[in-house]
Amino acid sequence: MNFGFSEEQESFRNELRGFAAKRLAPYYQSDDWAGRLRPELIGELAGVGLTGMRIPPALGGQGADCTTTGIACEEVARADFNACYLVLNAALVSEIVAANATEEQQARWLPPIAAGQVIPSLFLTEPELGSDAARLGLRAERDGQGWRLVGEKTSITLGVYAHAGVVFARTGGPGAQGVSAFFVDLDDRYVTRAAFSDLGNRSIGRASVHFDGLPVGKGDLIGREGGGFVQVMKGFDYSRALIGLMCLAAGQAAVDDALDYARERVAFGQPIGRFQGLSFPLVEYATYLRAARHLCYEALWRKDEGLDHTVQANMAKWWAPKVAAEAAHQALLTFGHVGYSDEVPQGQRLRDIIGLEIGDGTAQIAKLVVARELLGREYAP
C-alpha cells in the first residue's frame, strides 16, 4: 500500500500550485463578473503544458498518466475552477482521439490542442436528450464520399469559444450501433451558436450549437462508422474521476478559507473557531473531501495500471461533486453575512461546482452504472 505520489508528481504539483496562485486565482472572480473567456488564458495554460496532458510528447503534449492529470485538475481548479474546464476538455477530447484515431489523424488534430491554438469541446447532449444519449438524433446525412451534419447539440461547455470538437451523430439506424463520432472543425459558415445564461461557469459558458449541413469526410471519422458509442466511449469514464477532483479541489479551497476565517473572526469574545458547533461541521466536510479524493485517485491509479475502474470512477462522479457542493455551502455559512457577498468567492464556488453535479452525467446515471456492476445489468437496465 502506498498513499504517496512520486517525487516527480510532487514537484509538478508544487510548481503548478505556484503558477495557479499567481496566474489563475486572481482572475477567478473577475472573469466570472466579466462573463467571458479571458483571451490570454488558453495560451497561459498551454504554456505550462496543461492543454496537452494526455497528448504524446511526439505530438507536442506531456504524455502524462491519469494520476498526474488528476493533480493538474486539482491544482488548477483550486485556484480557478472554470479555467480547469480548458484542461478537462483538452484531456477528454485528446484521450478519445489518442485511443481511437489513426496516426495520421492524431498528427493532424492533437498538436494544435496541445499548443492551445484549438479549444476543443465534446458534443453529445441534444435538446431532447442527455442521460439517454444513445438515442441521439443529430443526423450525419450522406453526401458523396462524406456526410453533412444536421441538427442541434446543446449544453456544450465552451460551446461559444470552441474551434473544434468530437461530435456524436447518427450515421445508421436506431440505438447505440447507429452512432458515429467525428472530429470536426466548427466552420462558422455551417454552425450557429447561442450562449446560455447560467448559474455558474460564466467565464467559459455553455452554448447550444446548431449544425446547418457542416460537411465532414471519411478522414474526420473517429474509429469505425457506427462505433461512436460502443468503441469510442469505452474505457472513457476515468474522466469522471478528473471531474471529481476538480470539484473536491474547489470544495477544499472553500473549507480552507473558512478555517482561516474561523481563526480570526471574533464573536462573544473569542475566535469563532473555538465554537465546536462551527468547527465540527468543517471537520466533517474535510473528512468527506479527503475520502472522496482517495476514491478519485484510486480510479485514476487503476486506469494507469490498466485495471477496470468503472465502479470507482462512477462512484466518484455521483459522490465527489455532491460532497464538494455541500462543503462549499458549509464554508459559505462560516463567513456569516460576508459569505453571501462577492467579497469572498464562496458563493461562486458553490454555483460553479453544482454544474458538475449534472455535466458529464447526473448522480442517478452514475449510480445506474455502479448498480449494473454490483447487481448485474438485468437489475439496472
CB-wise, 59 or 164, nearer to ligand FAD? 164
Stretch that binds ligand FAD, among 74-82, 116-124, 270-278, 284-292 (CB under 6 A): 116-124
How many residues belong to the site for ligand FAD (CB under 6 A)?
A: 23
Contact with ligand FAD (CB under 6 A): which of 261, 355, 366, 370?
355
Three-state SS string across the chain, please? Answer: CCCCCCHHHHHHHHHHHHHHHHHCHHHHHHHHHHCCCCCCHHHHHHHCCCCCCCCCHHHCCCCCCHHHHHHHHHHHHHHCCCHHHHHHHHHHHHHHHHHHCCHHHHHHHHHHHHCCCCCEEEECCECCECCCHHHCCCEEEEECCEEEEEEEEEEEECCCCCCEEEEEEECCCCCHHHEEEEEEECCCCCEEEEECCCCCCCCCCEEEEEEEEEEECHHHEECCCCCCCCCCCCCCCCHHHHHHHHHHHHHHHHHHHHHHHHHHCEECCEEHHHCHHHHHHHHHHHHHHHHHHHHHHHHHHHHHCCCCCHHHHHHHHHHHHHHHHHHHHHHHHHCHHHHHCCCCCHHHHHHHHHHCCCCCCCHHHHHHHHHHHHHCHHHCC
Residues 62-81 that bind ligand FAD (CB under 6 A): none
CB-wise, 338 or 358, nearer to ligand FAD? 358
Smallest separation, CB 163 to ligand FAD (Å): 14
Residue 369 touching ligand FAD (CB under 6 A): no
Amino acid identity of residue 49, one-letter, is G
CB-wise, 134 or 368, nearer to ligand FAD? 368
Smallest separation, CB 51 to ligand FAD (Å): 16
Residue 355 · residue 324 · CB < 8 Å: no
CB-wise, 282 or 320, nearer to ligand FAD? 320
Instruction: Bin 376: left if φ > 0, else alpha if -120 < ψ < 50, else beta.
Output: left
Which x/- pattern over 188-227 shows residues binding ligand FAD (rule: CB under 6 A)? -------------x----x---------------------
Contact with ligand FAD (CB under 6 A): which of 121, 180, 312, 330?
121
Rg (CA), the chain: 21
Contact with ligand FAD (CB under 6 A): which of 360, 366, 369, 370?
360
Contact with ligand FAD (CB under 6 A): which of 88, 113, 115, 156?
156
Residue 358 touching ligand FAD (CB under 6 A): yes
Contact with ligand FAD (CB under 6 A): which of 122, 169, 295, 311?
122
Contact with ligand FAD (CB under 6 A): which of 70, 151, 178, 361?
361
Smallest separation, CB 359 to ligand FAD (Å): 3
CB-wise, 206 or 303, nearer to ligand FAD? 206
Residue 157 touching ligand FAD (CB under 6 A): yes
Smallest separation, CB 238 to ligand FAD (Å): 17
Residues 124-143 that bind ligand FAD (CB under 6 A): 124-125, 129-132
Return the residue nearest ligand FAD (CB atom).
Answer: 130
CA-nearest of 140, 24, 26 to 73 is: 24
Which positions lie near ligand FAD, rule CB under 6 A?
121-125, 129-132, 155-157, 201, 206, 355, 358-362, 364-365, 368
